[in-house]
Homo-oligomer: A and B are copies of this chain.
Amino acid sequence: MEKISPKILKKFSPLSVISEDELSDLLSAAILEFVAEDEILLLEGDARKNLYFVIEGWLKAEKISPEGRQQTLRFIGPGEIINELAVFLNEPASMTVIAMEKSQVMILSQARVEDLLLKNPKFSREWIKSLALRVKHLLNHVENLSLYSVEARLARLLLDEAKDGVYQRPSWKTQSEIAAQLGTVLDVINRNLQNLQKQGIIEINRTEIKILDVKKLEALSRR
């Protein structure tokens, strides 16, 4: 396999706690792969049990309803790992992963990882942490979906992701994507965004959303 910078590898927390030897052993069997924009990396039901480490680029994991509506479960960027459930529970992939932009992933086989899990407790412990974190995010997601309105969820998204009052959005983060992430549809998001803008709380343009009135936005995030 071509070289991957150690700096990038350190971003994967389970990999950051193992020895050099263990790491190079793991990587010896790794495969690097590119995924083109809109390409499906993993299809729900896929029975191949590999782990995918995102080296660069952004992807999304989603579920699709019979009617074609989609719920984005998370956006996945560099340093994040895909398909853990399938590997740890030894069952087919539970969701579909699609590349939002050209991305690069490193593929590791289930066997290699299982092996190291039993050999190095620190590795396991770190993975427990990473799964616990996933649980935490999902709990938050559930709470949002069931207890808060679309407006509040949108407000939270903006507050959470904004740096210095500005929510920079990558070109692939369209209003449709925001809708899928918040568990609703494009139209509703658009109307809510327009509303917020009319009230002078935010300012929207193609590449970013500026938060003009944090206080008001925070108030809305609690309704």
Residues of B within 8 A of A128 (CB): 88, 117, 124, 127-128, 131
Residues B132 and A132 in contact, CB atoms below 8 Å apart:
no
Specify how many copies of this chain sit in the oligomer: 2
Residues of B within 8 A of A129 (CB): 88-89
The proximity string for A residues 208-223 relative to B, scoring 1 for CB distances below 8 Å and 0 otherwise, is 0000000000000010
Residues A122 and B132 in contact, CB atoms below 8 Å apart:
no
Residues A63 and B147 in contact, CB atoms below 8 Å apart:
yes
Residues of B within 8 A of A66 (CB): 222
Residues of B within 8 A of A112 (CB): none
- Does A136 have its Cβ within 8 Å of any Cβ on chain B? yes
CB distance from A61 to the nearest CB of B (A): 9
The count of chain A contact residues (Cβ–Cβ below 8 Å) is 41
Given known A-B contacts A118-B125, A142-B71, A145-B146, A85 and B183 have beta carbons under 8 A apart = no
Residues A63 and B132 in contact, CB atoms below 8 Å apart:
no
Task: State A136–B138 Cα separation when bound (angstroms).
Answer: 10
Task: State A71–B95 Cα separation when bound (angstroms).
Answer: 24
Residues of B within 8 A of A71 (CB): 142-143, 146-147
- Does A84 have its Cβ within 8 Å of any Cβ on chain B? yes
Residues A118 and B117 in contact, CB atoms below 8 Å apart:
no
- Does A69 have its Cβ within 8 Å of any Cβ on chain B? yes
Task: State A219–B94 Cα separation when bound (angstroms).
Answer: 22
